[in-house]
Structure 1
Amino acid sequence: MIEPIARIRIEIEDTNPLVWRELDVPLSTTLAMMHDIIQVVMRWWDYHLYEFEIGDRIYGVPSSDDDLYERKVYKASGLRLATVLERGIREFLYVYDFGDNWRHRITVLDVRQGDADVEYPRFIAGARRAPPEDVGSISGFEEFLEAVTDPEHEQHARMLEWYDGPFDPDDIDEQHLHMIIGDFAARRRGPLMSHRGTGRKKPS
């Protein structure tokens, strides 16, 4: 099936070196599906709330608590990427885990017709492994990296135990990402995602 697709770039703000990914996604992708895609390519585990900041609106999973903060949250499942582009918006934010506050800048680099023999979404490229869940924001991630990459660091063993294995900041495991995004593409017309475990199953 030939459909219009967008090349998007996802960057986690304030990471240095920068953590980023590029993908081709259909314009029919809803923000809720975009959330699932980002969870996969950043190896998050969907333990926390999220929202998209697009123009002057917030999209996520509406809650009765929103009234307490005098904010309107629109359904992420109700907005497609095509509509975002029709509004003239080519850059927006995705925020995951309001405690650690991981801010992902999403930029639409290009829009074109997809290839008939390619299933989308499709992983294109990326660099640097994303922070682990619950590592404690940018400062916590920097401390974690310092410890896990230095065998002589006094917290080295404790951090490896906490993460449940080694952590190579340069290895994003492209083969795994191609495979799981390919699986997502194959399932796109059916139930969303089966990548989440029921327990804390961390990637090594």
Structure 2
Amino acid sequence: MPKAAKAHTHEARTDPLAKPAKAAAKQDHAQSAAPSSTNYVIRAQLQAGTQSVTRTLSVPQSFTLRQLSRVLMVAFGWSGYHLSQFELSKPEELFLLESVEEWEEEPYVKWMKDSTLRDIFDSAEYAGNEEIIWEYDLGASWRHKIRLERREDKQPQSITP
């Protein structure tokens, strides 16, 4: 008589890079310049064909674009394995993660680590920007539209049982 087939259960696998991305975001936050009492509530929307995925996030105004990039990777489940960049249209600027020699002389290129959210959302230079584009995986070009929804006072974190 044939043996009965064994049922196999599959556990949900977590992305092996998710923990390092979350840890890096926490580390970056711990190293932020000045603690901030204000958070920005931002809406990030990934347009994927006819569907979209939206996340609403509350982040400190002192966060750099580099830190925001890491938060977005975790929020959208990206592995952090690919390059990313931010684009602004007014004025036209490109924020890159790392210094790239051939871009060094371009006046519209800045570095993520050198610009905070406050520099963008509360600056006359960037006033009127309808949106910021965060592009993840420059080959596949996953483009996320980021909008400032509102400012809010940072609430102390509490855990309720």
TM-score interval, normalised by the smaller of the two chains: 0.5 to 0.7
Are the counterparts in 2 of residues 10 and 21 from structure 1 also a CA contact under 8 Å?
A: yes
Q: Structure 1 vs Structure 2: percent identity of aligned residues? A: 24
2:52 maps to which of 18, 26, 29: 18
Are the counterparts in 2 of residues 7 and 24 from structure 1 also a CA contact under 8 Å?
A: yes
- Helix, strand or coil at the partner of 1:18: strand
Are the counterparts in 2 of residues 7 and 111 from structure 1 also a CA contact under 8 Å?
A: yes
Answer with 1 or 2: which has the greater Rg: 2
Paired position in structure 2 for 1:113: 153
Are the counterparts in 2 of residues 59 and 75 from structure 1 also a CA contact under 8 Å?
A: yes
2:113 maps to which of 77, 97, 109: 77
**Match for 2:115: what amino acid?**
L
Question: Are 1:94 and 2:134 matched, yes or no?
Answer: yes
1:42 maps to which of 51, 63, 76: 76
Question: Are 1:28 and 2:62 matched, yes or no?
Answer: yes
Rounded Cα–Cα distance in structure 2 between residues aligned with 1:15 and 1:101: 12
**Match for 1:50: what amino acid?**
S
Are the counterparts in 1 of residues 134 and 144 from structure 2 also a CA contact under 8 Å?
A: yes
Paired position in structure 2 for 1:104: 144
What's the TM-score, normalizing by structure 2? 0.65
> Residues 34-88 of structure 1, C-alpha deviation per residue, up to 9 Å, x if partnerless?
01001101111111111100231100122114369x6753110000001101232
> Residues 8-39 of structure 1, C-alpha deviation per residue, up to 9 Å, x if partnerless?
11101244321110111110010000010011
Question: Are 1:63 and 2:97 matched, yes or no?
Answer: no
Richer in strand (by share): 2
Rounded Cα–Cα distance in structure 2 between residues aligned with 1:7 and 1:90: 15
Are the counterparts in 2 of residues 12 and 18 from structure 1 also a CA contact under 8 Å?
A: yes
Richer in helix (by share): 1
Structure 2 unaligned residues grouped into runs of 5+: 1-34
Query: Measured at CA, do residues 13 and 36 of structure 1 come closer, stay the same or move farther in structure 2, by a change above 3 Å?
Result: same
Query: Measured at CA, do residues 48 and 6 of structure 1 come closer, stay the same or move farther in structure 2, by a change above 3 Å?
Result: same
Query: Measured at CA, do residues 3 and 90 of structure 1 come closer, stay the same or move farther in structure 2, by a change above 3 Å?
Result: farther
What's the TM-score, normalizing by structure 1? 0.52
Query: Measured at CA, do residues 72 and 2 of structure 1 come closer, stay the same or move farther in structure 2, by a change above 3 Å?
Result: closer
**Match for 1:110: what amino acid?**
R
Query: Measured at CA, do residues 22 and 71 of structure 1 come closer, stay the same or move farther in structure 2, by a change above 3 Å?
Result: same
Structure 1 unaligned residues grouped into runs of 5+: 120-204
- Helix, strand or coil at the partner of 1:62: coil
Rounded Cα–Cα distance in structure 2 between residues aligned with 1:42 and 1:15: 16
Question: Are 1:53 and 2:90 matched, yes or no?
Answer: no
| 1:112 Cα deviation from its structure 2 partner | 2.1
RMSD of the alignment, in Å?
2.3
